[in-house]
Amino acid sequence: MHATISPSRVKGTTRAPPSKSYTHRAILAAGYSDSATVKNALVSADTKATMRSVGAFGGSVERDGQTIDVEGFDGRPDTPDNVIDCANSGTTMRLVTACAGLGEGLTVLTGDDSLRSRPQGPLLDAVSDLDGRAESTRRNGQAPLVVGDGMRGGTVEIPGDVSSQYISALLMAGAVTDEGIDIELTTELKSAPYVEITLELLAEYGVEATMTDDGFSVEGGQSYHPTGGEYDVPGDFSSISYLLAAGAAAGEDGESVVVEGARPSAQGDSAIVDIVRDMGADVAWDEDAGELTVSVADLSGTTVDVGDTPDLLPTIAALGAIADGDTVIENCEHVRFKETDRVTAMAEELSKMDAHVTEERDRLTIHGGQTDLVGADVDGRGDHRIVMALTIAGLVADGETTIAGSEHVDVSFPNFFESMAALGADVSEN
């Protein structure tokens, strides 16, 4: 599908979708339990992949709207009857890889072309070092994967600068091993807030895991039991970033955009609130009510380190193309290993809209002072975050912007275009 965006002004109240990161973890944690209910879940292409995985491991998943009732496999996954297709969901594949390592039999994991190109090697090595079996069928550290043979736990070394999801996967699985797992990081941890999300959610499910001097540790022999048998998913700050950006860059004069569902949590992407403020926007956050209010402003460039917030790079890049002066996005090499190489994708697609951009391996600079955005035909690269960020740029570009692959917003924000239209944006899909 294609989405066409015309210059628009936005105002009004909208609601953030539930967090994709929390929903993935909550569904799998419910699978590790004997039973649990996940409320206010994000139901999207990615989280459906995690639901299918829980079912493949012997659990039962029933959904009523955004409420998901799970009869779990109680800590020990069955051997699936068939291959588990993780589609485009990297989070599913990594969390499920460690889970599959617990099984006595073997699980085969695969995904789409993009997912089969993403690195899994360090996690496979870790599962093997913990007495499980974990192999890439093509012997290149990428899916399809074969995993199983009853991972028992122990001590393992793993790099922290490729994907924090490796650590989250091992912590979740380690709680139900006999020995527990001690994780020693061999490099600096990138995207650390995502591990904090995991630790927060594990605590909500009654599982204790801790940070240590050189990594993380989780004791074995634990059980997953959320208080009252339920877990409520918070709003998603990665998705909130596009709504805040729309209000700051394309808000109607004298009006505001109000985003509901923004209650505080461990999400590192809540940094978008301060980033937008630093660029000059007026943002008020009522944390008790979970409401953000943003008004349009003349934005100025800023410098942002995205080492812990890789998913914000597309949003910041789009705002940089709208702002005056240079916006410098630093420490971003790991953002190249997402659904697509998001550093190159934003550099090339914004350039089609006449943005002036300098791309380096670990840095992206958008020269806003030299940029007057114009509408263009751009490619969402099969990546939900690229599509949504380019939509923000399209709101203020001169002329129509058409984005190929608009359907990929279903990964994390299925009603994104409907939400934008409700705020007054001139958007259409065909």
The Cα 136–Cα 162 span in angstroms is: 17
Q: What is the pLDDT of residue 322?
A: 98
Q: Is 239 annotated as a binding residue?
A: no
Output the average pLDDT for the chain.
97
> Among 269, 311, 379, 383, which one carries the catalytic annotation?
311
Strand partners, 63: 68
* pLDDT tens, residue by residue, 283-301: 999 999 999 999 999 999 9
Please state the rounded mean pLDDT for residues 88-93: 96
Residues 6+ apart with CB under 8 A from 89: 24, 45, 46, 47, 49, 50, 111, 115, 411
Q: What is the pLDDT of residue 368?
A: 97
Q: Is 21 annotated as a binding residue?
A: yes
Domain 2-17+235-429 and domain 20-232, same fold? Reply is: yes
* pLDDT tens, residue by residue, 311-363: 999 999 999 999 999 999 999 999 999 989 999 999 999 999 999 999 999 99
Q: How many CB atoms lie within 10 A of CB 201?
A: 24
Where are the domains positioned within the chain? 2-17+235-429, 20-232
Q: Is 20 annotated as a binding residue?
A: yes
Q: Is 338 annotated as a binding residue?
A: yes
CATH number of 20-232: 3.65.10.10
The Cα 124–Cα 158 span in angstroms is: 10
Q: Is 164 annotated as a binding residue?
A: yes
- pTM higher than 0.85: yes
Give the CA angle between residues 216, 304, 292 to the nearest 5°: 85
Q: Is 33 annotated as a binding residue?
A: no
Please state the rounded mean pLDDT for residues 227-235: 96
* pLDDT tens, residue by residue, 364-417: 999 999 999 999 999 999 999 999 999 999 999 999 999 999 999 999 999 999
The class level of CATH for 2-17+235-429 reads alpha beta
Q: Which two tokens stand for residue 369?
A: 């002072």
> In this structure, what DSSP letter does residue 415 have?
T
Q: What is the pLDDT of residue 415?
A: 95
- Torsion angles phi and psi, residue 155, rounded to 5: -110, 140
Please say if 311 is a catalytic residue: yes
* pLDDT tens, residue by residue, 34-59: 999 999 999 999 999 999 999 999 99
Please state the rounded mean pLDDT for residues 70-86: 97
* pLDDT tens, residue by residue, 141-150: 999 999 999 9
Please state the rounded mean pLDDT for residues 86-108: 97
Q: What is the pLDDT of residue 165?
A: 97
